[in-house]
Amino acid sequence: MQVKSFIYATIDNRSDLPDLAACPAGGIDAAPLEIVRYRDIAAIVSAIDVNQFAADVPGEIASGQQEESHKAHLLKYQQVNAFLLGQTGRNGMLPLKFGFTASDNEEVAKVLEQAYVQLRTYLDRLQGTMELVIQASWELPKILQEIVKDNPEVAGADPVQAGRMLFEAAEIKKRQLVAAIHDKLSPLSKDYSDAPLKADSMIINRSYLVEKDQEPLFDDAVDAVATEFEELLTFRYIGPLPVYSFVNIELNQGNYAMVDKSRKLLQLPERASWETIKSAYRQLILAHHPDRNPDDPQAAQRTKDAVAAFGIVRAYCQSLPGFAEPDKSSEFSFAQEAVEQAFIVDNKGAVLARAKAGEKPA
Amino acid sequence: MNKTIGIDLGTTNSCMAALVGGAPVIIPNAEGERTTPSVVAFMEEGQRLVGTSAKQQQLGNPQGTITSIKRFMGRRWDEVSEEMAIVAYPLAKGGNGDVKVAVDGAQYAPQEISAMILQKLKADAEAYLGESVTDAVITVPAYFNDAQRKATKDAGRIAGLTVLRVINEPTAASLAYGLDQSDDQTILVFDLGGGTFDVSILGLGAGLFEVKATNGDNHLGGDNFDKAIVDWLIGEFKREHGIDLGRDAIALLRLYAAAEKAKIELSTMLATQVNLPFITVTAAGTEHLSIELTRVQLNRLSAALIDRTVGPILQALADANIDADGIDHVVLVGGMTRMPAVQDKIRELIGKEPHQDINPDEVVAIGAAIQAGVLQGEVKDILLLDVASLSLGIETKGGVFTRLIERNTSIPTRKTQTFTTAGDDQPTVEIHVLQGESEMAAFNKSLGTIMLVDLPLARRGLLEFDVTFDIDANGIIQVTAEDIVSGNEQQIRIEGGSGLEEDEINRMVKRADEYADAAHRLRELAEVRNHAEVLAAEIELSLDEYCSQIEASEASLITERIADLRQAMEAVDASEIRTRTAALVDAAQVLRQEGDEEESLFF
């Protein structure tokens, strides 16, 4: 049995902390919930047996039994986060992606330290908010009948033509409906995010980011929308949820091989300030850009490589505590120990998705 | 080397510039104007007008006058319902779902109409510069997608121009300002033109203009403001007179022209009177429209439109990872930025006084000319590193849009993705390529599908293909696929996207050439006729005066040749007119000798 710390969420540590004892039946596998603090933020964690948990990470092949336990774990993860959402009130609460573990609580504190800037920024931005989900579905045949009623010429057209016209009309209708729903709800929300449609009949599956005290107003607006389109659509209204759809923080341990290769491509020494890095990148672009080398077919490729390398080095540097400091002269280390200790955090996860798929550090 | 010019091919007006002695200058058109209305008019007998003359005759020829064609470039029929409501000329749906302009008994692609504008600009630039112009840098809104960029490039080709580069308008504007290059600077460019809104944030240092983020609204421009005013005027008139002017095409055109004029006037004045006498005729007689529009009222009408610029600005700031305080300079582009309420909104959001030293109508063309200089090696201390303004991706299971290249990635860029078959013995793999920011594929712009066909029979997952998505410095996308097992590489056409086929473009190039030839012949004919007419009249006059002093046979020969010439002038053969003119001049030599004794009469 190998025990690790599973992180559910990070919360604001500046005022009253939630009463974890009040959480029914603790965390995953009934392990007690704990708090790990760093400066004014904190993580909610519980101990977990990793061997059992390995199959929970998406992408791995799971047996039927494992799938059951995966479902149970996911449910527990959601319950804990829902509980935290209720407890934190006006304060910030940030659910982390399901499946993030660190070797122990000390390591969790280190994650908080490394990712402090990003976590703090997200916490401030999402303070006092919740997620509310609207799903709407229609009955396509009913809609098509209505379209035919409104456009009798469709019936006369040849079948292929008519099919296309119907499809196009339905698509337009769908957009109109989605826009009508959105126009009513978006003024009461701060942001929105679309999730994949779960069935052919579903036309919208959208999460709204709503201030906690706006919830009653948003409820009323959803009621009004549901009444207005009662004839055409079936609605599902889910929430309040922690703001899952509005946080996209992925934490990855630094991938030394990739960072090192990029650093060397930019011809940087093992320690460099942000100014030095930027200037080295500019020099490379100025030297290799195809506009400067119209007769060199390889110039475009060299430019593309430099752009990619800079993206990786930038993501690495942004993850280091020194980056946000106004004193730009601080130097970043590209030594193996430094890179492997760092947690590269990128709010898009774009660079990191590649870091994950690429060579993993041994 | 031939001259390369920079062209701002605008929705409402176009403008061109070139480097002369290393400095960018605006090239005036043949009429002497610094900007050319982007208007093409189809007249009777196949005549075409471009520019101010086309704009001026719009009222008498609403169906044959093509305006705001840029709004239709590279767009599909089902994307342009908002645009269709604004224009007065008829549109048709093309075979592949593209938009066509139906005029003059024919259908024209928007690329062809744009090419007509470019042809005029090219000809005028050649006349002004005194050398031939074959290459150009053309600007497009940053938010133009792949189809719209390709369409712009194709328009250039049809007009006989090699388009060296398509660059983003806000980026070009920042080049024009050059600004103080000693320190690192961050620039925000706010570009509100006739049809589109763009915002870009650039970092500038060591001569490198690096675009950090760009955003915008493809459906927001001056035309929308005009429409808001027109709708209001219609409402007011209806309230007073009970007549709906919206149903009268000519009245509508007059309203649009008056609305644009009022809008411009209200940038400097606090109130203006919209006067349209004889706006309509009813059983009760003629009606006149006379309504006062104040700046306060205009601001009220346009508040919602101006607010639509806020979201893109905030998003661009967020994408560039910068606060409003971090912006050092604000550059304004497009005529709409003259509107005080627009400037107030920028001051409110950014807290900086915008730069206004370069005319916002000309700044983009100047930047394009500078980029042309960079590409020709004439400008050495500047380099532009632009970004892809829209995310590029593919449709994956459940209609989800999976991004392969995120928006605001520096270009040129390239990304390779491995695909495999999902079923046993699957003969084809289909990859749907899209551009946009929605999480759902259905809400993004489809660029078409890639088909990998004739695959060998194999168990699922065994065949692997590397598909490479490449965005060049123009922001134009190219896709290649490599069969990993065999190493066979093939260039893939993206099927089903909008845009012109290669042979269609060639046909249009030919059509444009023919028209240019015909137009040239017509101009030549007019000149020859003109010259012949003046000459014949003068010779006739002096014959009257001197006929007593020459032989009768000489006099009758002259009379006969004048008649011959006048007969030829009725026809369209320029060389025949020239021959007969020469013959007349020859016969009239005797008059010249007589006349010389007093004064020179002609020649």
CATH number at residue B422: 2.60.34.10
- B436 and B558 both lie in a single domain: no
**pLDDT for the residue numbered A55:** 39
The 10s digit of each residue's pLDDT in A335-361 is 887 777 666 655 443 333 333 333 323
Q: Do B375 and A198 touch (CB under 8 A)?
A: no
Between chain A and chain B, the number of residue pairs with CB atoms below 8 A apart is 62
Shortest Cα–Cα distance, B264 to chain A (Å): 32
SS3 B505: helix
Q: Is the model's pLDDT at A54 over the cut of 60?
A: no
In a domain, B602, yes or no: no
**pLDDT for the residue numbered A362:** 27
Q: B489 pairs with which residues across the strands?
A: B482
- B445 and B541 both lie in a single domain: no
In a domain, B159, yes or no: yes
Report d(CA B229, CA B297) in Å as an integer.
9
B169 classed as catalytic? yes
- B131 and B194 both lie in a single domain: yes
In a domain, B419, yes or no: yes
Q: Does A121 touch chain B (CB under 8 A)?
A: no
Chain B residue at shortest CA distance from A245: B439
Q: Which residues of B, range 163-202, sit inside 8 Å of A by Cβ? A: none
In a domain, B582, yes or no: yes
Among A104-118, A273-287, A291-305, the range scoring the smallest mean pLDDT is A104-118
Contacts of A193 in chain B (CB under 8 A): 439
Chain B residue at shortest CA distance from A280: B206
Determine how β-strand B208-217 pairs with β-strand B383-385. Answer: parallel
- B122 and B188 both lie in a single domain: yes
What H or E segment, with its residue span, contains residue B298? helix B295-307
- End-to-end Cα distance, chain B: 38
B362 classed as catalytic? no
- B203 and B75 both lie in a single domain: yes
Chain A residue at shortest CA distance from B318: A347
Amino acid occupying residue B415? K
pLDDT band with cut points at 50, 70 and 90 for residue A50? low
Residue B482 sits at the vertex; the CA angle it makes with B481 and B487, to the nearest 5 degrees, is 160
- B349 and B477 both lie in a single domain: no
Q: Taking a C-beta distance cutoff of 8 angstroms, is the pair B176, B370 a contact?
A: yes
Report d(CA A107, CA A112) in Å as an integer.
9
Total count of domains within chain B: 4
Question: Which has the closest alpha carbon to A330: A339, A340, A320, A338?
Answer: A320
Report d(CA B336, CA B332) in Å as an integer.
9
Q: Do B400 and A196 touch (CB under 8 A)?
A: yes
Q: Do B208 and A282 touch (CB under 8 A)?
A: yes
Catalytic residue among B112, B124, B135, B169: B169
Shortest Cα–Cα distance, A197 to chain B (Å): 7
Q: Does A97 touch chain B (CB under 8 A)?
A: no
Task: Pick the last residue of a domain from B474, B500, B526.
Answer: B500
Q: Is the model's pLDDT at A58 over the cut of 70?
A: no
Catalytic residue among B83, B112, B146, B191: B191
- B363 and B481 both lie in a single domain: no
In a domain, B601, yes or no: no
Whether the bond between A240 and the residue before it is cis, its omega within 30 degrees of 0, is yes
Task: State the CB neighbour count (10 A cutoff) for residue B46.
Answer: 12
Q: Do B205 and A282 touch (CB under 8 A)?
A: yes
- B470 and B484 both lie in a single domain: yes
Q: Does A291 touch chain B (CB under 8 A)?
A: yes
Task: Pick the last residue of a domain from B436, B465, B500.
Answer: B500
Question: Which residue in the set A286, A294, A311 is minimally distant from B207, CB to CB?
Answer: A286
Higher pLDDT, A114 or B448: B448
CATH number at residue B521: 1.20.1270.10
For the segment A110-134, the average pLDDT, to the nearest whole number, is 81
Measuring CA to CA, how many Å separate A158 from each of A165, A166, A333, B94, B181? 10, 12, 69, 19, 64
Shortest Cα–Cα distance, B400 to chain A (Å): 6
The 10s digit of each residue's pLDDT in A74-83 is 888 888 888 8
B483 classed as catalytic? no
**pLDDT for the residue numbered B603:** 45
**pLDDT for the residue numbered B460:** 67
Q: Does A278 touch chain B (CB under 8 A)?
A: yes
Q: Does B440 touch chain A (CB under 8 A)?
A: yes
| Chain B interface, best mutation among A181, A190, A282, by max B CB count within 10 A | A282
Q: Does A197 touch chain B (CB under 8 A)?
A: yes
The 10s digit of each residue's pLDDT in A228-255 is 988 888 898 988 888 888 876 655 556 7
Q: Does B310 touch chain A (CB under 8 A)?
A: no
Contacts of B410 in chain A (CB under 8 A): 307
Q: Does A348 touch chain B (CB under 8 A)?
A: yes
- B93 and B151 both lie in a single domain: yes
Report helix angle A159-185 to A215-228, nearest 10. 150
**pLDDT for the residue numbered A250:** 58
Task: State the CB neighbour count (10 A cutoff) for residue B157.
Answer: 19
- B381 and B399 both lie in a single domain: no
Global pTM reads: 0.67
Q: Which residue has the tokens 């919602």?
A: B304
Backbone angle region of B476, left / alpha / beta, with phi > 0 → left and psi within -120 to 50 → alpha: beta
Interface TM-score (ipTM) > 0.85: no
Percent of chain A with pLDDT over 70: 82
Report d(CA B516, CA B119) in Å as an integer.
8
Domain boundaries, chain A: 3-127, 130-246, 250-357
B332-368 as b/e, with b when 16 or more CB fall inside 10 Å? bbbbbbbbebbbebbeebbeeebbeebebbbbbbbbb
Q: What's the token pair of residue B524?
A: 């030549």
Q: Does B261 touch chain A (CB under 8 A)?
A: no
Contacts of B444 in chain A (CB under 8 A): none
Top CATH class of A250-357 equals mainly alpha
Q: Is the model's pLDDT at A218 over the cut of 90?
A: yes
Task: Pick the last residue of a domain from B500, B532, B564.
Answer: B500
Contacts of B475 in chain A (CB under 8 A): none
- B592 and B531 both lie in a single domain: yes
The 10s digit of each residue's pLDDT in A153-212 is 777 777 777 777 777 788 888 888 888 999 899 889 888 888 877 777 888 999 999 988
Q: CA-CA-CA-CA torsion for B208, B213, B218, B222, nearest 10 degrees?
A: -70
Shortest Cα–Cα distance, B441 to chain A (Å): 10
Q: What is the CA radius of gyration of chain B?
A: 29
Q: What's the token pair of residue A203?
A: 């036309």
Q: Do A197 and B398 touch (CB under 8 A)?
A: yes
Question: Which residue in the set A291, A311, A348 is minimally distant from B383, CB to CB?
Answer: A291
**pLDDT for the residue numbered B177:** 84
Question: Which residue in the set B385, B398, B399 is minimally distant from A285, CB to CB?
Answer: B385
- B27 and B44 both lie in a single domain: yes
In a domain, B185, yes or no: yes
Question: Which residue in the set A194, A283, A307 is minimally distant from B410, CB to CB?
Answer: A307
Report d(CA A310, CA B208) in Å as an integer.
15
Q: Mean pLDDT for chain A? A: 78
Q: Taking a C-beta distance cutoff of 8 angstroms, is the pair B13, B43 a contact?
A: no
Measuring CA to CA, how many Å separate B538 from each of A101, B2, B70, B592, B600? 101, 43, 49, 11, 12
In a domain, B457, yes or no: yes
Cα–chain-centroid distance for residue B167?
13
Range(s) of the domain holding residue B261: 222-305
Q: Taking a C-beta distance cutoff of 8 angstroms, is the pair B548, B594 a contact?
A: no
Catalytic residue among B8, B135, B154, B362: B8
Q: Which residues of B, range 2-41, sit inside 8 Å of A by Cβ? A: none
Question: Which residue in the set B78, B406, B440 is minimally distant from A168, CB to CB?
Answer: B78
For the domain A130-246, what is the CATH code?
Answer: 3.30.70
What is the mean pLDDT, run by run of 10 residues, along chain B of 603 residues?
87 94 92 95 86 91 92 87 81 86 89 96 92 94 89 94 93 82 84 90 88 88 92 93 86 91 93 90 85 94 94 90 90 93 94 88 94 90 88 78 84 80 76 83 82 75 78 85 68 59 78 77 81 86 83 86 88 86 86 60 46
Question: Which residue in the set B208, B374, B414 is minimally distant from A285, CB to CB?
Answer: B208
Q: Do A291 and B375 touch (CB under 8 A)?
A: yes
Report d(CA A86, CA A84) in Å as an integer.
5
In a domain, B69, yes or no: yes
